[in-house]
Structure 1
Amino acid sequence: MPIDMFTDHTPDSAPPAARRSMETTVRRLGYLPAPVARMAESPELLDGFLKLSGAFETATLEPLDREVVIMTIATRNACHVCVAMHTAKLTALGADAGLVTALREQRALDDERLDALRDFTLTVLETVGAASDTALKAFLGQGYTRRNALEVVLGIGTYTMSTLANWLTRAPLDEPLAPFAWSA
């Protein structure tokens, strides 16, 4: 059994620099997610993740597109917390159940445009950004822009940060996300 070395901080126990971010998260979600409680050990990481996540939310990629990027990263990095959280978000967005299942199973998507986004995200990850001209043309050929390509990089950076932190801190799945539980 793994050693639980990270504290589930509350706003009272967290380092002072993390408290405002934690309180904002509680106001936004109605509860304090375990990943946030554990990331609070490093106010810089917590604030960095929340700011980058907020920046990604304002990207020109559509909400469903952003969720495809996030779920692609979350399943690739086998982050049970992120997959559950973003399955819930996809459900709230009214996403097609087949799309959600395919993303959770790391399968090609029926929607050609969204599948091009999923493929491009994986290509950028696999090539450490050195996507071929062919891969970039295929992505752009589905109506995405050069700006969107860079937004994919933003999403990758943001959600790689959270998946790695969730693994390192051994963040458990919060009860409100239990209906969306996932395992690799």
Structure 2
Amino acid sequence: MRPFNVPIKNDVTEQNRAIFDDLESKLGFVPNIYATYALSDNTPARYLSFANGKTSLSNKEKEAINLIVSQVNGCVYCQAAHTQLGKMNGFTEDQTIELRKGTAGFNGKLDAIVKLTKAITGNRGVISDDVLRVFFDAGYTKENLVDVILNVGEKTTTNLLHNVTQIPVDFPEAPTLDRTEPQTV
């Protein structure tokens, strides 16, 4: 067992208590991963600014990215959280599973973004021209590419935090899949 306890409101700074109150009012609770960010005095505000910044991507595209990144990185916390958030953004349970496997046969444009994201995440940014061409052929732009890369970084940060701390998952468990291998095409 890792020696990380999830901080509660009384354990954190006044600044982080305000963030906990805001999260509680928006989500109904403070997810353990956000509370764990509060082990640092400054990280919750910094992370939330990063995660909630403006982007050229839709919420559905961001959730597709979050699902495949979390699968490739083996983060069970984020797989669970983004399965729920994916459903809240219009995906079915089966679609969240398909996205975590690295495809989106139900939507060609999402398929291109998921395959690009899988390749970026799994290969640490070293991808083939073919993967990039498919992404652009699907109608995405260079701005979208930069926003995908930023989203990968943001989600990887949370994946790493959970994978290191192993704090309890406080979302319904996502279906177990084999870890997804990177796209090499």
Shorter-chain TM band: 0.7 to 0.9
Which of 12, 18, 30 pairs up with 2:10? 12
User: How far apart in 2 are the matches of 1:45 and 1:182?
Assistant: 30
| TM-score normalised by the chain length of structure 1 | 0.86
User: How far apart in 1 are the matches of 2:15 and 2:5?
Assistant: 16
User: How far apart in 2 are the matches of 1:18 and 1:118?
Assistant: 34
Question: Could you say which residue in structure 2 is the equivalent of 1:171?
Answer: 167
Percent of aligned pairs with the same amino acid: 24
* Offset of residue 116 of structure 1: 1.0
Question: In the alignment, does 2:31 pair up with 1:33?
Answer: yes
Q: Which runs of 4+ in 1 moved over 6 A?
A: none
Give structure 2 stretches of 5+ with no counterpart: 178-185
Q: Is contact 1:15–1:41 with CA below 8 Å preserved after alignment?
A: no
Tell me the number of residue pairs that the alignment of Structure 1 and Structure 2 aligns: 176
Taking only aligned residues, the RMSD between alpha carbons, in angstroms, comes to 1.9
Give structure 1 stretches of 5+ with no counterpart: none
Equivalent residue of 2:9, what SS?
coil
Q: Is contact 1:60–1:148 with CA below 8 Å preserved after alignment?
A: yes
| TM-score normalised by the chain length of structure 2 | 0.85
Q: Is contact 2:72–2:122 with CA below 8 Å preserved after alignment?
A: no
Larger helix percent: 1
Q: 1:94 to 1:135 in 2, by over 3 A?
A: closer
User: How far apart in 1 are the matches of 2:81 and 2:137?
Assistant: 30
Q: Is contact 1:69–1:117 with CA below 8 Å preserved after alignment?
A: yes
User: How far apart in 2 are the matches of 1:43 and 1:50?
Assistant: 13
